[in-house]
């Protein structure tokens, strides 16, 4: 605290009353300038070289070929030039962020880039808003200016992460709620003579109205199986995308049933029965924790009015008696 006061006094003595604010602005400008070389040192993309080659030279495309592109540029492609700055360069970190966004339901190829851009944009916007607010408070000290500037910036930077976390938990809960019903429908389809692939397609159609997230995951599994991808890899990718323990167990059961040659219908029958029991147990658990959660609210809303009703008249009589005796003296 003493060091901050000394720095504030030094800045005020050399730069005037606005010295601390100028120092914070200069620090932010320096950080922005330090990030510019990283943006300018971006490696050339082979697609960019191909576009440059097609734009000029003897092999340039005609006007009709230039208009009929295979892929129209989107708004997210404008962030391509900042990919080095907006995307983690470490493969493990990029995969972790990508998986977290997939579990939250954001499946576009530019999701990681947009996620980091939103963090950067909201942080800078909140920083500028806090700076404007600090400038409007003319008599505020340096510490108040720093707090009113950095706290909104931190909140703006963490807002996308909080949103993705809440969206991921909501999606996990939706998948967990609809999974037992999907197992029952899948068991009916398998026992009716359909294969596992056909039953997954039928279940995805039936669940589209009630549980769209789970229906999309099942349809994704069906499309990947149709494309020729290995069934074990498809099921393991399903468990990673969902991030739900029940689906991970379900994938393990199917993989083991396929490896050992056991009946899939029997495995689905046993597992669906366990999932129904588990759903009942979760409902009972929530019902048992409800009285504990209501205890505090009951005490706060019941005990004070009861005390006022029981003790209030006595306190009023005591007050009137003491007040009457004092006036009589």
For the stretch 241-299, pLDDT in tens is: 888 888 888 888 888 888 888 888 888 888 888 888 888 888 888 888 888 888 887 88
Q: Which range (66-80, 105-119, 236-250) has the least confidence?
A: 66-80
Residue 166 has pLDDT above 90, yes or no: yes
For the stretch 226-238, pLDDT in tens is: 888 888 898 888 8
For the stretch 177-209, pLDDT in tens is: 888 888 888 889 888 888 888 888 899 988 888
Residue 169 has pLDDT above 60, yes or no: yes
What's the sign of the alpha-carbon dihedral 54, 56, 58, 61?
Answer: positive
272 vs 145, more confident: 272
pTM: 0.65
pLDDT band at 162 (very low <50, low <70, confident <90, very high): very high
101 vs 134, more confident: 101
pLDDT band at 59 (very low <50, low <70, confident <90, very high): very low
Q: What is the mean pLDDT of residues 211-226?
A: 89
Q: What is the mean pLDDT of residues 83-87?
A: 65
pLDDT at residue 62, rounded to an integer = 45
pLDDT at residue 93, rounded to an integer = 82
pLDDT band at 121 (very low <50, low <70, confident <90, very high): confident
pLDDT at residue 164, rounded to an integer = 92
């Amino acid at each position: 605290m003493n060091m901050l006061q000394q720095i504030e006094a030094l800045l005020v003595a050399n730069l005037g009353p606005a010295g601390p604010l100028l120092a914070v602005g200069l620090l932010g400008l320096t950080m922005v300038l330090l990030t510019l070389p990283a943006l300018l040192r971006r490696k050339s993309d082979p697609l960019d070289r191909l576009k440059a080659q097609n734009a000029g030279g003897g092999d340039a495309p005609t006007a009709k070929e230039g208009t009929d592109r295979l892929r129209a540029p989107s708004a997210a492609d404008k962030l391509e030039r900042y990919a080095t700055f907006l995307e983690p360069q470490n493969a493990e970190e990029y995969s972790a962020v990508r998986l977290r966004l997939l579990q939250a339901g954001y499946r576009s190829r530019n999701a990681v880039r947009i996620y980091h851009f939103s963090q950067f944009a909201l942080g800078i916007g909140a920083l500028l808003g806090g700076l404007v607010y600090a400038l409007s408070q003319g008599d505020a000290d340096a510490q108040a200016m720093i707090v009113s500037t950095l706290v909104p910036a931190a909140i703006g930077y963490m807002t996308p992460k909080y949103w993705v976390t809440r969206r991921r938990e909501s999606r996990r809960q939706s998948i967990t709620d609809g999974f037992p019903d999907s197992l029952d429908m899948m068991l009916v389809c398998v026992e009716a003579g359909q294969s596992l692939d056909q039953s997954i397609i039928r279940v995805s159609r039936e669940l589209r109205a009630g549980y769209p997230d789970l229906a999309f995951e099942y349809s994704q599994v069906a499309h990947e199986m149709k494309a020729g991808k290995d069934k074990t890899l498809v099921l393991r990718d399903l468990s990673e995308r969902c991030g739900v323990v029940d689906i991970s167990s379900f994938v393990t059961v199917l993989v083991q049933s396929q490896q050992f040659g056991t009946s899939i219908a029997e495995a689905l029958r046993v597992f669906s029965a366990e999932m129904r029991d588990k759903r009942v147990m979760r409902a009972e658990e929530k019902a048992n924790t409800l009285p504990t959660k209501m205890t505090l609210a009951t005490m706060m809303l019941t005990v004070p009015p009861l005390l006022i009703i029981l003790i209030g008249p006595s306190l009023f009589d005591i007050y009137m008696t003491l007040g009457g005796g004092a006036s009589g003296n």
